[in-house]
C-alpha cells in the first residue's frame, strides 16, 4: 500500500455527541475496505457537549480495527461556524482528494465513489446532489423542501447558474482546489458551500453535480427563518468579497 493519503474525509462537528460515534465507525469501516490509505479529519467547532471526548474514544478504538486510516482532531473553544470548521479541515488535509461530509451522514459514505469517479474523469469539484434524476432522496419535511427550493433558485440566479443543489453536505475536491478555496474563503457559516462554488466558477474550475442517495436526519442545526435570511444576505456578500477574483461570473 502506498504511503500517499488518497482521501481525506473532513467532518465539521458541533454538539454531535449523539451521532458522531456511529458516523465515525461507519466511515472507518468503509475506508478499511479500500486499497488506498485514507484519513479522517474531525473539526470540533467549539462543542459544549461531549463531542470531542467521543471522537477521541472512537479514535483509540479505531487504531486497532482500521490500521490504514487515521483520525486527526482539531478543536476550537469558540463556535465559529460550519464554514470555518470546513476551512480549517481543508487546510489540515493531506489527501490527494478531500471529501467534506456532514456529521449526520445523510449521504452514506459509500456514495463517495461516485464523486471520485467524476474527479478522475476531469472534474475539479464534484458535488453530491439531491435534485438530479439519478438522486435517491427520502422525503423531507415540507418546510425544508420549500426552504431548499427557494434558496437553490436564488443561488442559481445570484451566484452559480446551472447548479441545482449547492447545499448537499457531501462534496469532494482535488487537493489543490480544496486548499486554494480554503485560503480564499470568507464565509464562516452555512453559505460557505455557495462561496466555494462561486469561487470555483470564477477561477475556471470544472464543477460536476452527481446524484447521490440522501436521507433526512433529525437534529439539523439549520434554523429556517434565521438562517434563510443570513444565507440570502451572504449571497450578496460573496459576490462583493470576490469581485476581483477570476473572470466575471454569470
Give 214-225 pLDDT, tens digit per residue.
998 776 656 555
Domain of residue 86 covers: 5-241
Report how many domains make up the chain: 1
Is residue 64 very low, low, confident or very high in pLDDT (cuts 50, 70, 90)? very low
The residue written with cell numbers 461556524 in the block is 81
Q: What is the length of the chain?
A: 250
- Residue 159's CATH number: 3.90.550.10
Q: How many contiguous H segments (helices) and E segments (strands) does the chain have?
A: 8, 9
What contacts 142, CB < 8 A, 6 or more positions away? none
Q: What is the pLDDT of residues 226-241, one digit of tens each?
A: 666 788 899 999 999 9
- Is 249 within the bounds of a domain? no
- DSSP-derived pairing of the beta strands 170-174 and 136-137: unpaired
- Is 116 within the bounds of a domain? yes
Is residue 247 very low, low, confident or very high in pLDDT (cuts 50, 70, 90)? low
Q: What is the pLDDT of residues 123-162, one digit of tens each?
A: 999 999 999 999 999 887 776 777 777 888 888 988 999 9
For residue 250, pLDDT over 50 is answered with no
Amino acid at each position: 500500500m502506498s504511503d500517499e493519503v488518497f482521501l481525506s474525509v473532513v467532518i465539521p462537528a458541533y454538539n454531535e455527541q449523539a451521532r458522531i460515534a456511529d458516523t465515525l465507525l461507519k466511515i472507518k469501516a468503509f475506508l478499511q475496505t479500500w486499497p488506498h490509505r485514507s484519513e479522517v479529519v474531525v473539526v470540533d467547532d467549539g462543542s459544549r457537549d461531549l463531542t470531542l471526548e467521543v471522537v477521541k474514544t472512537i479514535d483509540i478504538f479505531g487504531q486497532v480495527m482500521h490500521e490504514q486510516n487515521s483520525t486527526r482532531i482539531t478543536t476550537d473553544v469558540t463556535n465559529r461556524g460550519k464554514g470555518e470548521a470546513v476551512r480549517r479541515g481543508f487546510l489540515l488535509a493531506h489527501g490527494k482528494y478531500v471529501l467534506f461530509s456532514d456529521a449526520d451522514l445523510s449521504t452514506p459514505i459509500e456514495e463517495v465513489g461516485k464523486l471520485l469517479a467524476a474527479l478522475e474523469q476531469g472534474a475539479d469539484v464534484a458535488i453530491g446532489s439531491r435534485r438530479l434524476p439519478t438522486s435517491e432522496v427520502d422525503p423531507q419535511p415540507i418546510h425544508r423542501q420549500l426552504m431548499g427550493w427557494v434558496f437553490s433558485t436564488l443561488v442559481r440566479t445570484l451566484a452559480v447558474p446551472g447548479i441545482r443543489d449547492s447545499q448537499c453536505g457531501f462534496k469532494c475536491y482535488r487537493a489543490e482546489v480544496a486548499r486554494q478555496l480554503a485560503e480564499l474563503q470568507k464565509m464562516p457559516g452555512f453559505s460557505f458551500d455557495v462561496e466555494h462554488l462561486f469561487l470555483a466558477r470564477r477561477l475556471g474550475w470544472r464543477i460536476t453535480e452527481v446524484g447521490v442517495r440522501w436521507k433526512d436526519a433529525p437534529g439539523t442545526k439549520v434554523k429556517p427563518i434565521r438562517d434563510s435570511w443570513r444565507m440570502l444576505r451572504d449571497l450578496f456578500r460573496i459576490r462583493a468579497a470576490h469581485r476581483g477574483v477570476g473572470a466575471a461570473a454569470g
